[in-house]
Structure 1
Amino acid sequence: MYRVLVALDTDKDRALAQASMIESLPAATEEVSAILAHVFQDNPEGQSIPQLDGVRHVADAFDESGVDYEYYETSGEPASELIAAADEHDVDLICLSGRKRTPTGKVIFGSVTQSVILGTDRPVVTVSPDR
């Protein structure tokens, strides 16, 4: 079994791009197990991961295509929590979809994608909703 950690936020387009990439993996419906992960930083509505828009769209896509998945949610600093989840679940791949930011924006606001790529030895794939 090939395990993929899918780091999701609430953006539907980024989530669907991630789902499409995973569905395109060889033997995705037989050999891929996805972990739909979200790191809560602020959750005033008290939502759980299946209630998030981006996650719901990926789950629906995987239900339709037959890709196996499970949910994983935690809270804290996204990059370090995603790396910890990847280690905990011993995943083969981390799938991210970054936001388009200028170099200045990355310095000011940081970049979860960049931090995950630099903070893990596991393979990381990034997808764009524009792909």
Structure 2
Amino acid sequence: MYRILVALDTDIDRATAQASTLESLPAASEGITTILAHVFQENPEGRSVHDLESVRHVASAFDEAGIDYEYYEASGEPAPELVAAAEATDADMICLSGRKRTPTGKVLFGSVTQSVILSTDMPVVTVSPEQ
């Protein structure tokens, strides 16, 4: 069994692209378990990962495809929390979908995708929302 941490934000298009990519893996319905993860940076309402439309969308797609999944949520800075989540859940790989940013935008605002890639030794698959 192969375990994949699916780092989801609130964007449906990115979530859809991630789900589609993982559904296309060989023997996805028999060989992988996904961990649907979200890191809350600010959460005054006390929402849960189950409350996010993007997470529910991916869970529904995985239900239809027969892909097993679990939920994971954390609070804090996304990149280090996602790397910690991958380690805590014994993930074999991390799946992310980045935002399009200009080089200047990356310098000013940072990049969770880049930080995750540079902070882990495990494979990281990045998915474009424009598949």
Q: TM-score, normalised by structure 1?
A: 0.97
The count of aligned residue pairs is 131
1:44, distance to aligned residue in structure 2 (A): 2.7
Cα distance in 2 for residues equivalent to 1:45 and 1:54: 17
1:57 equivalent in structure 2: 57
- Residue 40 of structure 1, CA deviation: 0.3
Pair 1:78 & 2:62 matched: no
Aligned pairs for 1:38-117 (under 5 A) are: 38-117=38-117
- Name the amino acid aligned to 2:47: Q
Determine what percentage of the aligned residue pairs are the same residue: 75
Distance 1:86 1:44 in 2: 25
CA distance in 1 between counterparts of 2:54 and 2:37 reads: 11
Unpaired runs of at least 5, structure 1: none
> CA–CA distance in 1 between the matches of 2:17 and 2:44?
27
> What is the deviation of 1:89?
1.5
Aligned counterparts, 1:21-40, within 5 A = 21-40=21-40
1:6 deviation in Å?
Answer: 0.1
* 3-state SS of 1:6 partner: strand
- Residue in structure 1 matched with residue 120 of structure 2 by the alignment: 120
**In the TM superposition, what is the alpha-carbon distance from 1:129 to its structure 2 partner?**
1.2
Runs of at least 5 residues in structure 2 that lack an aligned partner in the other structure: none
Give runs of ≥4 in structure 1 deviating > 4 Å: none
Deviation at 1:124, TM superposition (A): 0.3
Distance apart, 1:116 and its partner CA:
0.2
CA-CA distance at 1:43 after TM superposition: 1.4
Shift of 1:45: 2.6
What is the root-mean-square deviation in Å for CA atoms of aligned residues? 0.7
Normalising by structure 2, report the TM-score: 0.97
